[in-house]
Structure 1
Amino acid sequence: MAAQREMKGKNPWHRPVTILIAVLGVIAIVALVTVTVMQNQPLHQKYKYGIVLDAGSSHTAMYIYQWPAEKDNDTGRVQQTHACKVNGPGISSYWSSPSQAGDSLRKCLQDAERQVPLSRHQETPLYLGATAGMRLLSKENRSASSEVFRAVERELQRFPFSFQGARILTGQEEGAFGWVTVNYLDDRLRQGLGTRGALDLGGASTQISFVSNQEVESSENAVAFRLYGNDYHLYTHSFLCYGKDQVLKLALVQLTESGERQVSDPCFHPGYNVTKEYSAVYNSPCVTARKSKETSFTHIGTGNALKCQEVVRRVLDFGRCNFSSCSFNQVYQPPLRGTFRAFSAFYFVMNFLNLTSDPLERVKEKLEHYCATPWTQVKQDHPDIKEKYLAEYCFSGTYIVTLLTEGYNFTSESWNDIKFIKKISGSDAGWTLGYMLNLTNMVPAEAPDTPPLPYAGFVTIVTCMALLLVFLLVLSLRSYWPRCRPAQTRII
């Protein structure tokens, strides 16, 4: 008993001060780990919003974007949360009754009021960008263009958002912002990866944009960006009057120049027979005034994709080139480089024709077969599509293939570098996101600073260090650990 009392007296773990220090040390370490984990836990996400209206030649669409509100300088990842297609044609079609242009936007803007939280309304920027349709109207009738914009601005200002103005984008801007959108959504910019080229096709214009590895010979086709610390030298060009709707008018002009009352057209299905007004063909600034005395003509389809391609070739000017290389219409274009994303009408037409994933030779074969399909069969196969739009797919598909191969110089091999898309990561491909990112400076010129460690790695290191401290604390008291002594044999 005396020996046990002696050992107990020498054991420091039975001293109140030692026990108190050890307990406080463990509590402090547990508290350190707990506070670190709680401090770095993700909070309930709050968002900011932006709204962009794309006023195209054939229709207007509204897109709502959101990004994390707590990010410094609004550099959080931007995502599309909602889209609304405006009923009716593009705003340029309302040149004779401008007030209707503003009225047409009301339903989608009311939709935006419901989609964006009430507390964010007044701080949400609202933009409207008009493209080729309004560029043509401004070129033809500047006064009418101004009246349309005034009506649109009055309507936009009635809503509680932070209206930032409405304006016409240049063709160069439309192409460049489309390129930014594609590469931002593909996360090619922040990661410093090789970029994608962008191919856009609308009703009145078409754009091609890509990073070139050689100096751009034409200054009007050169755009420079510095994004996330990387420099990009971009080639971009917009062909006004070469969207799918306007180029169809140009093709019909060639077929109707003689002023005949019946016009055979290989770009429309066999059996297609519709009477059309000459004024509907010659009512665009892309088309020169006609001289025929006839007021209408009978449009007769013959359904031959190869002959249709010849019609398209005559619309595209492949004459002399004053540069080292050209696309068409004497426009400079450097050699193609990298992979491409084709969107807007490129996607919608090729998707309808089921040609988005086939090699070029197979695309041509399927297109020939489709164009040769009788009009009655086509209507029977697609009863839900308006005949006006359904009738134009043969021409549009042939135009796209000719434009990409003979206009932009894609070959059978590089055709596989094109991916036809509608969305990327849930957001529509197009110029609108790139436009908003540019106006809000949400893509920094320099790469933003980031923590040296990710959250999970930081917590792991802190936890390991805490456990190491506990181990060292226990080890430092090793000399005070109780020791078992061998029992002594008492000799009697």
Structure 2
Amino acid sequence: MPPPAGLDPWMEGRHFGVVIDAGSSGSRLQIYSWKDPRSISVVKGSELEFTLPKVEKGTHSGEDWVHKVEPGISSFGNNPEGVAKYLQPLLSHARKHIPPSLEKETPLFLLATAGMRLLTPVKQAEVLQQACKFLVLHSTFKIDGPSAVGPCGSSIRIITGEEEGLFGWIAVNYLMDGFTGSGLNRTTYGFLDMGGASTQIAFEPSAVSAQDAKNLIDVRLRLLGGQEIKHKVFVTTWLGYGTNQARERYVGKAISEFEATRKDGQDVVPDPCLPRELELTEKPVHNAPANSYSLKAHKLLGTGSFEGCMQKTAALLNKTAPCPDAPCLMNGIHVPPIDFSVSHFIGVSEYWYSSEHVFGLGGAYDFVQYERAASKFCAREWEGIMEEHELSKKLHRLGGDGEEEVDGQIVAVGKWHPSVERSRLEMQCFKAAWIANVLHEGIGIPRITDPGGNGTTAGDKVVEEAEKKGLGRPAFQSIDTVGDIAISWTLGKMVLEASKEIPPQLTSRPLVDPIEEIPDTPGFHVRPIRPPFWTLDGMEDRITPLLPFSLTRDSLGFSPLIFLLLVSCFFVAILAYPVRRQLRASCLRSIHHVAKRDDEYSLEEGTHRPPGNARVTSRNASFQSPKGLHD
């Protein structure tokens, strides 16, 4: 469809922003839009004065605001020249849906995540260089110029897992009205995100905890009235704590333990984290000694015990790891104290999938219900699960915990989401246990329990149950969308960009990405990713971590790299001065030699000069033949 017409009321005063989420499996372009904050009449003292710009989809209707290509951009690590062709359909889609008159003022970002982080720094730089070159040459979108960050500044770069967490934190609190309210009633939501490889947490410690908390990052936004709000947020990532890598660690540990106590005739590893009678062959990649039988693939047979799976996976949290900077949660990583009477958390991605797609329990979280649904699913026979899976696909029926009740009686089973794949059903028991352990044993979110038993509570009543217990809103909820907007870190980035357009009420420093607010503190746990582009700033970013703090720019007050280059030039000049005459003579001889060699050839005819003193000039050679040539 063509870009929205200028006479369209929806288009009046509308601004756009484009962000490409360059992930490990594909790149997703998303177009967002918002009304120009300067065109909005804000009455002093009104509710509007204390709100953020309303960020919406970038198209008036339909799903054209999103466009995806595969594979991930990191697949071009060995072929950076292919990036241009790869990005072409994404750029064309953006230009097709944004009016040409607005293109120059529309910011475009390509922010790469997990896949690009795995490339070598040199390959990272080559891929980003090609992406920058293509997007700048083939569009007029607003893209940063060269800086220490890269050839396209902050517009095209690799973001850390912590940055994803910070942008996700902004998105959650924007959608859940966490930034509204005042005084003691205003509390922001914490943000939890889990993928296949890692899990992130981002939250604002309570005022008491924040006084002593370390490693907090300023997140600044501007409300429509021009006031700036600032939140000090803690964010960290646990690598290897995503569901896929946690499963790999679990398999390695289970096989090692099996081999250590193996008896004759035993060749199958019992696995409580698989539904009953499901048999899988898996090869360990963790915890197996080199050159041992433990490195070989083993058959794992499901015994279907959610309680047993919870016990087995709890050890993977590594709660006993040394904690050099207390307090710590999992794997010895420092996290400030969390006051769960104040901090309430929203979980996205795997927190949502594991709760909703099979159990139908997404949303407000009740551990009793969750545990009951997981226990029943794990204990089911695999053959029966697959029969119901095929039936569900045929009937296209939606969510549930595998059971449908009428007047307290089970009348049907297999009501899970039709998009659920076999792989999800195979790993659902493990993922459900891992999620529960991370939430409760890892992060410490309290279980909502009822001494009298609350097995009759429903998911949509969990808020009411929590309030009865004096807990206020639930300590944890899993969410995928709010309204028709998906919770995504890309939304958080666009909320920040829209906020930057609001004129400040008072003179203040410009709003920037949270990563640029990181304090200049040695050993700060979050560091931006800076591939080695061939600039002085880029080179300095690469060598700074290798230097003692006393020799860094922050300590010296000037660039040690530039100083070293100047000193090197000075010494080269001193060494060259005594032999300047010899160097001059050598240069003149080289020039004379080259001139003499070129003089022996006719540049226009390409023929060798005749022997002796006979000279063939290039001009005459074009019209005269040497004597005797036609004789």
Q: Is the TM-score greater than 0.5? A: yes
> What are the within-5 Å matches in structure 2 for residues 337-356 of structure 1?
337-352=342-357, 353-356=359-362
Question: Is residue 2:338 matched to residue 1:335?
Answer: yes
Q: By how many angstroms is 1:179 displaced?
A: 1.2
Aligned to 1:269: 275
Contact 1:80 1:428 in 2 (8 A): no
After superposition, the C-alpha distances for 1:59-82 in whole angstroms (9 at most, x for unaligned) are: 543321101136369x84222345
Contact 2:53 2:499 in 1 (8 A): no
Q: Which amino acid aligns with 2:303?
A: T
Question: Is residue 2:256 matched to residue 1:257?
Answer: yes
> Which of 45, 51, 64 is the aligned partner of 2:31?
64
> Which of 101, 106, 111 is the aligned partner of 1:119?
101
SS of equivalent to 1:180:
helix
> What are the within-5 Å matches in structure 2 for residues 318-329 of structure 1?
318-319=319-320, 320-322=322-324, 325-329=327-331
SS of equivalent to 2:179:
coil
After superposition, the C-alpha distances for 1:417-453 in whole angstroms (9 at most, x for unaligned) are: 222111224322122122234456527696699xxxx
After superposition, the C-alpha distances for 1:319-348 in whole angstroms (9 at most, x for unaligned) are: 154555432112233123332221122112
> What are the within-5 Å matches in structure 2 for residues 228-307 of structure 1?
228-257=227-256, 262-278=268-284, 281=285, 291-292=291-292, 294-307=295-308
Question: Distance between the aligned counterparts of 2:290 and 2:137, measured in 1?
Answer: 43
Q: Which amino acid aligns with 2:346?
A: R
Over 3 Å counting, the alpha-carbon distance change for 1:263 and 1:159 in structure 2 is farther
> Which of 417, 434, 437 is the aligned partner of 1:399?
434
Q: By how many angstroms is 1:408 displaced?
A: 0.8
Q: By how many angstroms is 1:367 displaced?
A: 0.8
Question: Distance between the aligned counterparts of 2:319 and 2:204, measured in 1?
Answer: 24
Question: Is residue 2:113 matched to residue 1:131?
Answer: yes
Q: Which amino acid aligns with 2:366?
A: P
Contact 2:269 2:300 in 1 (8 A): yes
Question: Is residue 2:177 matched to residue 1:187?
Answer: yes
Q: Which amino acid aligns with 1:434?
A: G
Over 3 Å counting, the alpha-carbon distance change for 1:190 and 1:447 in structure 2 is farther
Q: By how many angstroms is 1:154 displaced?
A: 5.8
Over 3 Å counting, the alpha-carbon distance change for 1:188 and 1:152 in structure 2 is same
Question: Distance between the aligned counterparts of 1:374 and 1:158, measured in 2?
Answer: 58
> Which of 217, 221, 228 is the aligned partner of 1:223?
217
Aligned to 2:494: 436
Q: By how many angstroms is 1:199 displaced?
A: 1.4
Contact 2:256 2:288 in 1 (8 A): no
Identify the structure with the greater helix proportion.
Answer: 1
After superposition, the C-alpha distances for 1:166-220 in whole angstroms (9 at most, x for unaligned) are: 3222233222221111122333325543222211112222111222121365633
SS of equivalent to 1:410:
coil
Question: Is residue 2:53 matched to residue 1:51?
Answer: no
SS of equivalent to 2:188:
coil
Contact 1:86 1:104 in 2 (8 A): no
Question: Distance between the aligned counterparts of 1:236 and 1:154, measured in 2?
Answer: 33
Contact 2:67 2:93 in 1 (8 A): no
Over 3 Å counting, the alpha-carbon distance change for 1:289 and 1:183 in structure 2 is farther
Q: Which amino acid aligns with 1:61?
A: R
Contact 1:57 1:90 in 2 (8 A): yes
SS of equivalent to 1:77:
coil
SS of equivalent to 1:391:
helix
Q: Which amino acid aligns with 2:438?
A: L
> Which of 471, 474, 483 is the aligned partner of 1:416?
474
Q: Which amino acid aligns with 2:436?
A: V
Q: By how many angstroms is 1:255 displaced?
A: 2.1
Question: Distance between the aligned counterparts of 1:150 and 1:203, measured in 2?
Answer: 28
Question: Distance between the aligned counterparts of 1:176 and 1:92, measured in 2?
Answer: 23
Contact 1:344 1:430 in 2 (8 A): no
After superposition, the C-alpha distances for 1:460-480 in whole angstroms (9 at most, x for unaligned) are: xxxxxxxxxxxxxxxxxxxxx
TM-score normalised per structure 2: 0.55
Contact 1:57 1:204 in 2 (8 A): no
Report the RMSD for the aligned CA atoms in angstroms.
3.6
TM-score normalised per structure 1: 0.69
Greater relative contact order structure (CA < 8 Å, 6+ sep):
1
Contact 2:275 2:426 in 1 (8 A): yes
After superposition, the C-alpha distances for 1:365-406 in whole angstroms (9 at most, x for unaligned) are: 211111222222223333454323332222122111110111
Question: Distance between the aligned counterparts of 1:163 and 1:369, measured in 2?
Answer: 53
Identity of aligned residues (%): 27
- Rg larger in structure: 1
Question: Distance between the aligned counterparts of 1:375 and 1:97, measured in 2?
Answer: 44
Question: Distance between the aligned counterparts of 1:100 and 1:379, measured in 2?
Answer: 42
Q: By how many angstroms is 1:147 displaced?
A: 4.7
Question: Distance between the aligned counterparts of 1:289 and 1:99, measured in 2?
Answer: 41
Contact 2:13 2:39 in 1 (8 A): no
Q: Which amino acid aligns with 2:108?
A: L
Question: Distance between the aligned counterparts of 1:181 and 1:76, measured in 2?
Answer: 12
Aligned to 1:373: 380
Q: Which amino acid aligns with 1:131?
A: T
